[in-house]
Structure 1
Amino acid sequence: MTEMTLSPLLLFLILTLTIFVVAALYLSLRAKAKSITSNDPIIDNLNLFGEKIQKLSEGQERLTGGLQTVSEAQAKAQLSLINMMEERLSKVQLQMNENLSHSSRRTAQSLGDLQQRLATIDKAQEKITKLSGDVLSLQDILSNKQTRGAFGEIQLTDIVSKALPSDGFDLQATLSNGRRADCLIKLPNPPGPIVIDSKFPLEAYEALRNASSEVET
């Protein structure tokens, strides 16, 4: 591209310089030819020389027009190249923006899902902690006989009062042998009244559960 641009310009400068030198020489010869008769061959040569100078001038004008055409074509080519590069750059930038936007949305969604899962885990952990506390509280209650008895009486009263009519049971009933029952369920014979002790035999249950043989049981 550089050689094509410089070559016509160099040719134009050489041609202009040549025309200038030839024109100066022509004018000098013409001034000397004024003293020569019109039939002299020198006059004819000067006229022919003048015609060649005229053709050189016309060639210079055509070369000037050609240089302008080349310059315009080069400017159009450069503008077209710039437009094409800008268009491609815009497409690449748009694609990058779309990819970044899509990646940002996926990242935000993943973070949102992670936060929800962490929140669910936190709630489950809170429930487990509360349940552990309830179990420990229940163990504390069951480890003390008096507390265990009071807890059993409350639970027994709640169960029978919901399951039986008020005349179908007696709480803290005195038996025929003088002993007191936590609850006496009134049933017709057979089987007859049923005595319920609200105190849970935790020690006996633990011994049964921890027994390693039938002999220990």
Structure 2
Amino acid sequence: MNDLSTILSEPVARLGASTITLGHALAFGALLFLGLFVALVVALWRSAKARAVAAAEAADHARDAEARMAGILQSQAEMQGRMGAIAEVFGARQAELTQSIGQRLDAMTGRIGQTMTEQTKSTHESLAKLQERLAIIDVAQGNIQSLAGQVVQLQAILSAIIDVAQGNIQSLAGQVVQLQAILSNKQTRGAFGQSRMEAIVADGLPHGAYEFQATLSNGSRPDCLVKMPNGAPSLAIDAKFPLEAWNAIRAADGADLQKVAAQAFRRDIEIHVRDISEKYLIQGETQDTAFMFVPSESVFAEIHENFEAIVHKAHRARVVIVSPSLLMLSIQVIQAILKDARMREQAHLIQGEVIRLMEDVARVDERVRKLQVHFGQSAKDIDDILVSTSKVTKRGQKIEALEFGAQPDGDAGPDGASRAPAAKADAGPRVADSKTGQLRLRVVEGDD
């Protein structure tokens, strides 16, 4: 023990007046080691705490990410439901369009068949009368061949119309698949509404009766300008598709959100109506009424069902809101007006053709009557010739009979008298053997 104390008391270093022993050095080293150990423990504790805080923050971030992912999945499910509803609506519209086209084609086929039947019946009756009176078969055959050619051409036209309709239906089915991408973009949605309006107008009106993106005197450019006949002002049509506000109405859950979305929808429609009324209603240049085309039947139904005030306001502003079906009906009415105007313009030509046709018929009737007179005169001449030949034949037979009765026998007695009747009796069978004489004698006897 004393040796250990001696060793620890030995001086190791000197700092000024202080002497540093081995014990002091060992004590300082122990204190230094303890301080380093405490610092290491504190560092490890802080590192563990930082890792715990980082783990907690990572868990919070994970929970936030899960919540966002759940929201995204819910939005995706809602979007799929909406797209399913849109697909069902367009499927129903496609079925209605197919049914409407089929009904119109059936009605057109029935009318054309009835018209062709009536024309065929009238033609056959006319041909039968001409055959009975004139026996002119070549003219009837020519008419029948011409009618058969027209029937073949008509069948070809109907087949072409049916093929075009089927192609349009298949094209519409393909376009429904692309509807989601079209409606998601505002510019493509506007182009979709305008293209649908242009398709309806181009299918219903002849070329030259309308103009797309025409510039008015005030610099405005409506989507379509329908030219009316007889110098009347043109009809302006503009396509609008307020889909975003309508989708907001459909997606609103509470009453407050529904009210806000309805106000936004009403505001958008009123802005569209005001723009059309201010830009496209020009006195003397356009009609006093313009069309606002909504390319969706569901949006049109929503406007008339829940926003009747907007409809009345549009009427007061002389703007008519139309759906695809109403625009198609309006185009058909305009088509009938244009057709009537063209018919009135061509009325004098039709009258001239009818007059020339009546002149041809009159000449045919005159020639037929002359031919009938010739036939009657020929028949009368033949009858006169038959009477003359019958008389000549009768006289020749009488002369022949007299020659047989006056033949001398050489006896003037009773035997001679008995031979004369026998000769007459023999003369009778000879006359009967002459077929021509018998035929002529019968004719003479009938005349007597």
- TM-score, normalization by structure 2: 0.23
- TM-score, normalization by structure 1: 0.43
**Structure with larger Rg:** 1
